[in-house]
Structure 1
Amino acid sequence: MDLTQLNQQQLAMTLDLLSSLPAEDRFERLLTMVREILPCDAAALLRYRKNVFIPMATNGLKRQVRSMQFPAAQHPRLSALLHSEAPVRFDMDSDLPDPYDGLVSGEDGLLDVHDCIGIPLRQNNRLIGALTLDSIEPRFDGITDEQLRTVSELASVAMDTAVRMADLEQKAASAADKLWKEFSGLPLREATDAFQHRLLELALEDSDKNWSAAARKLGIDNGNLHRLAKRLGMKD
């Protein structure tokens, strides 16, 4: 695949990830797109957090991999990605154990001889994840370093976008759950008043107690804000 085709794939990947796909589907779509660019027998998209690689999407690997975690210190091939700025090609006869030994669909036991590439995903010089590509037969010699770098750069942006969106959705769901627990025992009118009271408090805190600034943040008229605050017992 030439770089023009690769750039077209990149654009499609980015647009997909900015769509309204559910969080899990974003990661699956990213991994599928990578496999279309770089064909392989097995691939995994991993998030990196606190020295652990966590599978977000897998393809060609056994189902249990999705629920596993891979501490970098216990997996030399993944550890090699920690300080690498560029994709890492592992020799066919490398004696480093593969994190997916016995976990490739249709294969049992160790992957003694196989093609393997690890692609670190970085944003702002910070490791956020990795792509791993495995092939039982030699397949990656025709892939240029430039292609790997291009995939790495775009996948890093796409991964960062997908992670941020997933984190925001999780925080929103958590906030909604917290609100429900806080106000669910109240009649609707009381719950509404309690919510508005709390919202006004937060707006005022964020505006250094400036009522006009708080009104602008809430998108309401300053006079209406004062009347609402008075009704809620926040002003005399």
Structure 2
Amino acid sequence: MIDNQSLLNTAVTLAQVNTQAQPFQQLIDCIQQLIPSDAIALLTLQGDVLKPQAIHGLMPDTLGRRFSINDHPRLHAICNAKQPLQFAHDCPIPDPYDGLLSNKTGDIPVHACLGIPLLNDANALLGVITLDSLDAKAFDDLNLADLAQLGALCAAHLQTTLQLQQYQNHAQHSSALVQELNREALTRNGVEIIGQSPAMQTLKNDIKLVAASEFSVLIQGDTGVGKELVARNIHLHSKRSEQPLIHLNCASLPENLAESEFFGHAKGAFTGAHNARQGKFQLADGGTLFLDEIGELPLAMQSKLLRVLQSGEIQTVGEDEVKYIDVRVVAATNRNLKNEVAEGRFRADLYHRLSVYPLNVAPLKQRENDVILLAGYFVEQTARKLAIKQLKLSVETQLLLTQYNWPGNVRELEHVISRAALKAKQSQWQQAIITIEPVHCELNLCTSNPASVAISTADNDKINSQNLSLKQATDTFTQHLISQQLEQHEFNWAATARTLQVDRANLVRLAKRLGIAVKKSF
């Protein structure tokens, strides 16, 4: 039961949102005190998907998932309800969190489920709170009226928090314009930058800052880090967001056709020009032109591009008329352009013109536990593509993913998850919950970070001299890694879990399975 005093205390706590660094997690903690549950999640509505903002009792990769409402019947029912909704313990509808509870071993299905829709003042859905328990009768004694009051308090807290975040993030713009741009950016597919590491938080802040200007931007980073995604976010957060974003890959340009691709050509301008054609600059007029792989641009074209950036003038091939265009240029490269300039392969004046505001996208190996969030995102995407009702990562797989060096960055992670999911589905086709294990990932541990995965000579000889399966070799590696980190942290499990970027309870269970003595730390 929830008494009036408990609701009053909750209201007072939630009213302190202004001073809270983590208001979403604060909300989850308040609910956990009122209604003890095995798993609680706060999800906000973004288009036709629900995005987890804070969790309790669920696997950490849940935060990286995006739950399509139409693909999850329980979430769909909660979203369409106007009051709290409880599902019967024997309800046949699959629960989106089956197998994702972090404090239980194995793929245990959820037995009790309660959902609270969070509505704003206009009765529109902001998000939902879900509570799950392995106790089938956990929520039977709760009063619907009390739950409705709790839902109203939580909805008001969420609405205030979301509004404050908008004002803080976009104070330099008019409120109406920025809210519209923000909604557009969040509802389009494939524009969200997933990551909570300091490097990604800095990048997101820089994107919002430079997007409001008209500066040219040079995005630098290794192959596969997501430079095109950064360019799309710059465009979507700019005042040009309603105008076109045109993409041109400079690496794929034949040198004899490069000028035509940039500036267009008149009919009959050269052999094969049977019709007049607009170039990328004309198509991008009023909007943004994204020049990918700018380091591959031929020197002859570099001087012509410089002229456009300096004067805004272009000349169509085969025409004498000079035209003026209004285009913002965002360029990207995986090369070190300073070195290219020093070696004479790139014009210094063009480099300085492009890099008015340079952005560096960190490689995945430097983004701490973003790997797990991204993995959760790709797991949910892949599950939909392969028509898998529930797909999850085992604890061993999560540990493996965090220790791998990811030379191919985010793109490689996406491909690894896709292949692993397909193999897991084939080997576990008869199971309701498909689990991705290390054997499905086929990652070479030798390419991982040497400082993090150093294997003793004895372990290395054991792996090389015996005909071990991939799972046995992975277990040997994992056993050594956990033991090594435990010794370095004087058997402090919490510190070890932070270093390995896994949940502490999951780490303890994994250690027990591998035969590592579990000692309490004080």
- Is TM > 0.5 for Structure 1 vs Structure 2? yes
The equivalent of 1:170 in structure 2 is 169
The verdict on how the C-alpha distance between 1:109 and 1:18 changes in structure 2, with shifts beyond 3 A counting, is same
**Shift of residue 170, structure 1, vs aligned partner:** 2.9
Partner of residue 154, structure 1: 153
Which residues of structure 2 form unaligned runs of 5+?
Answer: 172-204, 217-522
The question of 1:18 aligning with 2:21 is answered: no
Moved over 4 A (4+): 172-175, 178-183
Q: Residues 94-114 of structure 1, C-alpha deviation per residue, up to 9 Å, x if partnerless?
A: 0000000111113332515x1
Q: Name which of 123, 126, 137 aligns with 1:125.
A: 123
> Does residue 11 of structure 2 align to residue 2 of structure 1?
no
1:102 aligns to 2:103 (yes or no): no
CA offset digits 1:43-92 (Å, max 9, x no partner): 00000111111000000000000000000000000000222100000000
* Secondary structure, aligned partner of 1:153: helix
Which amino acid letter does the alignment assign opposite residue 148 of structure 1? L
Q: Deviations over 1:141-160 (max 9, x none)?
A: 12111221011000001011
Which residue of structure 2 lines up, in the alignment, with residue 218 of structure 1? none
Q: Shift in Å at residue 4 of structure 1?
A: 2.2
CA deviation map 1:204-226 (0-9, x unaligned): xxxxxxxxxxxxxxxxxxxxxxx
Residues 3-39 of structure 1: CA deviation (Å, up to 9, x unaligned): 1221121121122x122x33xx110011111111111
Structure with the bigger RCO (C-alpha within 8 Å, sep 6+) is 1
- Bigger shift: residues 125-134 or 140-149: 140-149
| C-alpha RMSD of the superposition | 2.1
2:70 counterpart of 1:73: yes
CA contact (8 A) 2:57 2:101 kept: yes
| Structure-2 separation of matches of 1:130 and 1:70 | 12
| Whole-Å separation in 2 of the counterparts to 1:60 and 1:175 | 33
Q: Aligned pairs, how many?
A: 179
Cα distance in 2 for residues equivalent to 1:69 and 1:134? 18
Match of 1:193 in 2: none
For residues 108 and 214 of structure 2, the distance between their equivalents in structure 1, rounded to whole angstroms, comes to 50
Distance 1:66 1:169 in 2: 23
Between 119-128 and 133-142, the greater mean CA deviation after superposition: 133-142
Structure-2 residue corresponding to 1:37:
34
Q: TM-score, length-normalised on structure 1?
A: 0.70
Under a length normalisation based on structure 2, what TM-score does the superposition of the two structures give? Answer: 0.33
Tell me, yes or no, if the aligned pair for 2:79 and 2:128 is still in contact at 8 Å.
Answer: no
Rounded Cα–Cα distance in structure 1 between residues aligned with 2:12 and 2:143: 20
Structure number with bigger Rg: 2
Quick check: 2:39–2:101 contact (8 Å CA) kept in 1?
yes
Q: Distance in 2 between matches of 1:43 and 1:176?
A: 35
Aligned residue in 2 for 1:200: none
Shift of 1:182: 4.4
CA distance in 1, matches of 2:49, 2:150: 22
Aligned counterpart for 2:59 among listed residues 57, 62, 70:
62
Which structure 1 segments of 5+ residues have no match? 184-236
* CA shift for structure 1 position 168: 2.6
